[in-house]
Structure 1
């Protein structure tokens, strides 16, 4: 767990079917600018086959996060590379493990693998994955990832695959690659406590959490209570380190970082008090110069003071 509140810049994603996924600026340049501004992490999300209706109602296009973060890795030196988040049931877990290990090796050990169960029914259909199996497939992935990353021989019989005495090399640099679990449910917190290194609750209005098929988060007091319960569960299970908690900053006025600074600083302090160790912010910008201006201003105001 962090000893101070750390900040992740989430690359802005355009909404709608015609959105340009790179309108906010060349990915490698924006990642390097985020690192230069003092951000600790850089994140991307995942929707490989978003439904047209969902896009038309405010959904967003994305890059493939593991491929794109590999590109960002080559332009940076210290920035954590975060999938916020990748949908575990969409992939065979051996392929997910290999992609993650590859990125971790190439980046010198900088990947944080944020994972979720997924929610968009049409996307599950498009990818040939049963929505009803998403929790079972998620749990399979959480079991397979450390086996694959160990570099030792293992066998595992899944619902749709049968790995017999396989060995995957090279091993990741990190042991283990940090896994953060997304979602607000009790099940998500239990997964984080028992099998992962962090929890990524979803903040936002009830309409958003309902669409994502997860309970609404509620207040920071509720976040604090759930965080304390989750960490106590992890401690009782013999987990060696306290878990990270990653909070997405919901106040969109942060797009003007130099305005209302006292209010934002107070909000960050309350988020940290509730137990969060990382905060995700985004600029909402759809222009490269505006994105760079945001990064510079946020860094000077909150990260370099």
Structure 2
């Protein structure tokens, strides 16, 4: 992977219970436009059964990210397709592994599985999953995924299943499919160091961190120290391969990409200096022309020279 900073376009999500999940534009057209503009990745999040109270207070509707990214894969050739993020405890890990492998095969090895433990109590209840089990279920998924993707017979006794000498094909193109783990906790960083290929940080105001049941991210200096510690732990664990770090750009003024471009370039440089390898940006747009205009302007302003 090139050392330069890479950019992911996160498809805009409308807030509120009546939001149109595709208001920003037809998914295949927006994904193709992001690729033309020079973005390296395209991401979607997941809320299969969001609570009405959460939606009324600013929460967002989503598409199913695995289904939607498969659709985006058919309209693109180069973009990395990212769940940002899927909630591991919501699914039986066999079903999660099969969906991920299918998407990786159909996209020619372009899928990255961003995973989180989840935080919405009402959503856990709606899906029949115990919130208090989320960390145990998350670790269980991290153990099962590579076994399933190996294409070799395996057995595994989980909290809610008993797999006995099962074998899953086709194998994914990537060995393994990259897993990026979300959350700002020490536990999340330890999981990355021991079992994953990247860390999906959660930037934003303190109230967002409280809602998502994760510590606030802190300053870039603090982030740089956490990244160094995590990468050192990975080396100690015998995992010398470089770990990706993903950072969601919090400055909403980027919605007008050409305005104050020097300040944004300086900010991106500082983010890269901290050890971040991927930056997620979104447009906040609610109409297809505005989304297309954002992608073109961002590409011309920040991506033309790097692609």
TM range, normalised to the smaller chain?
over 0.9
> Does residue 162 of structure 1 match 2:166?
no
TM-score (norm 2): 0.99
Q: Is the 8 A contact 1:2 1:244 kept in 2?
A: no
Q: Deviations over 1:25-61 (max 9, x none)?
A: 0000000000000000000000000000000000000
Q: What SS does the aligned partner of 1:304 have?
A: helix
Q: Which residues in structure 2 correspond to 1:164-203 (within 5 Å)?
A: 164-203=164-203
In 1: Cα distance, 2:242 partner to 2:193 partner: 9
Please name the residue that 2:60 is paired with.
60
| Offset from partner CA, 1:84-142 (integer Å, 9 cap, x none) | 00000000000000000000000000000000000000000000000000000000000
Tell me, in whole angstroms, the C-alpha distance in 2 between the residues paired with 1:258 and 1:216: 29
Distance 1:4 1:157 in 2: 42
Residue deviations 1:124-178 (CA, integer Å, cap 9, x gap): 0000000000000000000000000000000000000000000000000000000
| Corresponding position of 1:15 | 15
2:205 maps to: 205
Cross-structure match for 2:112: 112
| Matched residue, 2:286 | 286
Whole-angstrom CA distance in 2 between matches of 1:2 and 1:196: 19
Q: Secondary structure at the match of 2:270?
A: helix
- Per the alignment, residue 248 of structure 2 pairs with 248
Residue pair 1:11, 1:44 contacting (<8 A) in 2 also: yes
Aligned partners of 2:134 and 2:225: how far apart in 1?
27
Q: Is the 8 A contact 1:235 1:242 kept in 2?
A: no
Match of 2:276 in 1: 276
Partner of residue 143, structure 1: 143
Matched, 1:76 2:76: yes
Stretches of 4+ aligned residues off by more than 3 angstroms:
none
Match of 1:86 in 2: 86
C-alpha displacement of 1:200: 0.6
Which residue pairs with 1:46 in the alignment? 46
Gaps of 5+ in 1: none
* Count of residues in Structure 1 that have an aligned counterpart in Structure 2: 305
Give the Å deviation of 1:229. Answer: 0.2
Do the aligned partners of 1:147 and 1:154 also contact (CA within 8 Å) in 2? yes
The TM-score, its normalising length taken from structure 1, stands at: 0.99
Q: Distance in 2 between matches of 1:278 and 1:60?
A: 23
Deviation at 1:242, TM superposition (A): 1.4
Shift of 1:2: 4.2
Task: Give the corresponding residue for 2:228.
Answer: 228
Q: CA deviation at 1:240?
A: 3.0
1:173-205 CA-partner distances (Å, limit 9, x unpaired): 000000000000000000000000000110000
Residues in 1 aligned to 2:97 and 2:204: alpha-carbon distance in whole angstroms = 30
CA contact (8 A) 1:2 1:277 kept: no
2:32 matched residue in structure 1: 32
Matches of 2:293 and 2:201, distance apart in 1: 28
State how far apart, in whole Å, the 2-side matches of 1:282 and 1:263 are. 17
Q: Distance in 1 between matches of 2:2 and 2:113?
A: 16
| Distance in structure 1 (CA, Å) of the matches to 2:170 and 2:108 | 13
Q: Which runs of 5+ in 2 are unaligned?
A: none
Alignment partners' CA distance in 2, 1:235 and 1:4: 22
